């Protein structure tokens, strides 16, 4: 039998984002991720729809974010474009169920098939498309037979657990035993990630590429045993918590993410981390919470969503980085390779810096976050993340509307409203973020990082969650520190100038606004936190249009900083300053959310 989920996502068609979240999703739809099918040949002319370009992961990656985006925004034009791709894929399905656009099956890395099956489940959840459900059934049936003679390898072996998502989704609609047998086959044939972590292999840093320490594989595999636990009955959190603790200790970034450029790269603030790993870590945390119900994963998710994710995009979302740096003082081609296995341009902003997987995959981050604001439980609903949105659904056959009015994480409250067309009884659970104090719901004290449950018969109800984010310095390696306010990490923004570089190569035109951009510092960045002023931080809320804009961020901190001697070799700041000795008096400088920065200093020492 299949263990039920603790918390189940709602269909994107039932969710209407509002406030800053709608602004961010609309920005995404109007920029690069929303236009890849018109500007990028690997999507526009893909073999998945009968063209001659990429026949592997890029179209499924793109659809995985584009489909929920279209339905969250209820945008008919976006929906129509998504439907065009789904129809094109389904029209080319072979009679035996094979769905990938190649007949070279024996040598084809079936990771793309697992990913495409996950996309079909997303599509069916949004649309109820019975043809797509039947295509998914036939594809998995054929896939089960295929891997009897051509076992998982390469990416498919490393990411086997992704196949459990569509398998379990389909099993809950068609409970046929062969589906659970297929899930077991994947578990047997795929990487044993628990053995990888216990081997000690991830303690050393590699200068050569491999599957085992590949940062995106690592971000994905965090959910592997949790997914498998639905079938095996094992603890859904044990391995993931152990693995994440290891990653944060050995390879951690100040944001709570982990480095990987392209393989795990230690705890240095001047090594990068790949954008694909950010969106996949988010999806892992969403899955882990859904399976186990532990709100620990929601705080991990928030740190990624409010910090690491938006930092990887330009403010207009027309360009992105392949890898971001915590201390990022320049984004331009370096004279020598400064990353483990990425090239000298991996940290510039562009259409497809270094490699195009992130271009295709980056779009899933914000839409899937939105799908985890409200969730369904076995006896009601949960407000899992304070996000501005309205949900229209049913409970026990009664139409129910749930809404959240909030500017969190930039403000310190959320108002939840429930409307039921006729009286209906259920439990409504409200989570309080963990890095807060003095939290309450309608005046009743709540515990940080936990849910506040109310069982009632609802018609019209309002719940107001209030709290005070904790302002704190977090110690980092090498005598460095990072400044947090709640689940927002703050950085010193560095003034910059940009050089636009348009190009054409391999049939791809990088032209304005989705060309390459090199960013160079035009102001001072060599600072440390002034030891004498750490108790004098001023918090300021201000009006904003875009939530992650460096020009007018929603919240700023005025902090005392002093200049210190810090070098800039190889186009990056040095790993550590020459000393912690202050070279100037303390200056009251403005720090802004990490996710709103382009060039920044985040990890800095206290001055002497």
Q: Tell me, what's the pLDDT at 204?
A: 86
Q: Tell me, what's the pLDDT at 103?
A: 81
Please give the Cα distance from 34 to 26 (Å, whole number): 9
Residue pair 143/113 in contact by the 8 Å Cβ criterion = yes
| Partners of 484 in beta bridges | 472, 489
Residue pair 493/550 in contact by the 8 Å Cβ criterion = yes
Strands 380-383, 413-431: pairing is parallel
Q: Tell me, what's the pLDDT at 206?
A: 84
CA 82 to chain centre: 21
Question: Residue 495: helix, strand or coil by DSSP?
Answer: coil
515 exposure class (CB count in 10 Å sphere: 0-12, 13-18, 19+):
middle
Give the chain's largest Cα–Cα span.
Answer: 75
Question: Nearest to residue 30, comparing CAs of 62, 77, 64?
Answer: 77
313's tokens: 């995009």
Q: Tell me, what's the pLDDT at 550?
A: 97
Residue pair 366/66 in contact by the 8 Å Cβ criterion = no
Please give the Cα distance from 526 to 227 (Å, whole number): 45
Residue pair 600/312 in contact by the 8 Å Cβ criterion = no
CA angle 555, 558, 559 (to 5 degrees): 130
CB count in 10 Å sphere of residue 541: 12
Burial code (b: 16+ CB inside 10 Å, e: under 16) for 433-472 equals: bbbbeebebeeeebebbebbebeeebeeeebebbbebbee
Residue with tokens 């169920």: 97
Q: Is the peptide bond before 274 cis (omega within 30 degrees of 0)?
A: no
Residue pair 360/348 in contact by the 8 Å Cβ criterion = no
| Residue ranges per structural domain of the chain | 32-190, 471-601
Task: DSSP for 414-480, please give it.
Answer: EEEEEEEEEEEEEEEEEEPPSSEEEEEETTEE--TTSEEEEEEEEEEEEEEEEEEEPEEEEEEGGGE
From residue 354, alpha-carbon distances to 56, 248, 253, 347, 349 in Å are 18, 25, 21, 8, 10
Q: Tell me, what's the pLDDT at 425?
A: 98
Q: How many CA atoms lie within 13 A of 178 on its CB side?
A: 9
Task: DSSP for 230-285, please give it.
Answer: HHH---SSHHHHHHHHHHHHHHB-TTS-B-BSSB--TT-TTSEEEHHHHHHHHHHH
543: left (phi over 0), alpha (psi -120 to 50) or beta: beta
Mean pLDDT by 10 residues, the chain (608 residues): 96 98 98 98 97 97 98 98 98 97 91 98 98 98 96 97 98 98 98 97 90 97 98 98 98 98 96 98 98 98 98 98 98 93 96 96 98 98 98 98 98 98 98 98 97 98 98 98 98 98 94 97 98 92 97 98 96 97 97 98 97
The stretches of 128-214 forming alpha helices (DSSP H) are 130-149, 154-158, 164-171, 177-189, 193-198
Torsion of CA 583, 589, 594, 595, to 10 degrees: -140
- pTM, rounded to two decimals: 0.98
Strands 488-493, 600-601: pairing is antiparallel
């Amino acid at each position: 039998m299949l263990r039920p989920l603790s918390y189940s996502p709602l269909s994107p068609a039932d969710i209407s984002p509002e406030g800053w979240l709608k602004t961010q999703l609309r920005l995404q739809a109007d920029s690069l991720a929303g236009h890849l099918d018109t500007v990028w040949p690997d999507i526009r002319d893909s073999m998945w729809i009968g063209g001659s370009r990429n026949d592997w992961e890029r179209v499924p990656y793109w659809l995985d974010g584009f489909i929920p985006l279209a339905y969250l925004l209820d945008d008919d034009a976006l929906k129509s474009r998504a439907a065009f791709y789904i129809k094109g894929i389904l029209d080319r399905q072979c009679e035996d169920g094979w769905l990938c656009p190649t007949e070279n099956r024996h040598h084809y890395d079936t990771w793309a098939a697992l990913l495409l099956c996950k996309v079909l489940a997303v599509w069916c959840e949004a649309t109820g498309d019975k043809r797509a459900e039947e295509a998914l059934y036939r594809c998995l049936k054929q896939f089960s037979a295929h891997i009897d003679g051509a076992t998982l390898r390469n990416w498919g072996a490393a990411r086997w657990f992704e196949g459990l998502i569509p398998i379990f989704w389909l099993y809950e609609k068609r409970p046929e035993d062969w589906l659970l047998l297929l899930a077991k086959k994947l578990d047997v044939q795929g990487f044993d990630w628990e053995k990888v972590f216990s081997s000690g292999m991830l303690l050393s840093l590699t200068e050569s590429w491999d599957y085992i320490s590949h940062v995106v594989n690592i971000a994905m595999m965090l959910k592997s045993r949790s997914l498998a636990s639905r079938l095996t009955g094992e603890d859904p959190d044990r391995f993931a918590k152990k693995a994440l603790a290891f990653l944060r200790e050995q390879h951690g970034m100040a944001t709570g993410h982990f480095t990987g450029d392209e393989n795990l790269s230690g705890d240095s603030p001047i090594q990068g981390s790949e954008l694909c790993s950010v969106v996949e870590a988010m999806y892992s945390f969403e899955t882990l919470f859904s399976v186990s119900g532990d709100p620990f994963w929601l705080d991990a998710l928030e740190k990624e969503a409010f910090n690491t994710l938006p930092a990887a995009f330009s403010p207009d979302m027309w360009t992105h980085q392949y890898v971001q740096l915590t201390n990022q003082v320049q984004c331009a081609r370096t004279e020598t390779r400064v990353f483990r296995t990425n090239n000298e341009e991996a940290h510039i902003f562009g259409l497809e810096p270094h490699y195009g997987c992130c271009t295709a995959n980056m779009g899933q981050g914000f839409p899937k976050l939105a799908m985890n604001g409200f969730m369904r439980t076995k006896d009601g609903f949960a407000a899992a993340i304070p996000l501005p949105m309205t949900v229209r659904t049913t409970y026990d056959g009664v139409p129910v509307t749930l809404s959240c009015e909030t500017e969190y994480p930039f403000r310190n409250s959320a108002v939840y409203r429930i409307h039921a067309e006729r009286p209906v009884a259920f439990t409504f659970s409200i989570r309080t973020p963990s890095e807060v104090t003095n939290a309450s719901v309608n005046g009743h004290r709540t515990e940080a990082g936990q849910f506040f449950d109310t069982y009632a018969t609802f018609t019209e109800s309002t719940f107001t969650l209030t709290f005070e984010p904790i302002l704190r310095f977090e110690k980092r390696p090498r005598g460095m520190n990072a400044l947090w306010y709640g689940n927002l990490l703050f950085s010193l923004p560095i003034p910059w100038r940009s050089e636009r570089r348009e190009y054409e190569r391999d049939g791809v035109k990088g032209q304005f606004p989705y060309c390459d951009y090199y960013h160079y510092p035009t102001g001072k960045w060599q600072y440390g936190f002034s030891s004498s002023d750490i108790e004098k931080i001023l918090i300021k809320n201000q009006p904003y249009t875009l939530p992650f804009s460096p020009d007018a961020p929603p919240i700023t901190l005025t902090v005392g900083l002093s200049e210190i001697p810090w070098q800039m070799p190889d186009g990056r700041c040095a790993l550590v300053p020459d000393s912690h000795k202050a070279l100037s008096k303390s200056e009251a400088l403005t720090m802004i959310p990490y996710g709103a920065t382009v060039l920044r200093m985040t990890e800095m020492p206290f001055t002497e």
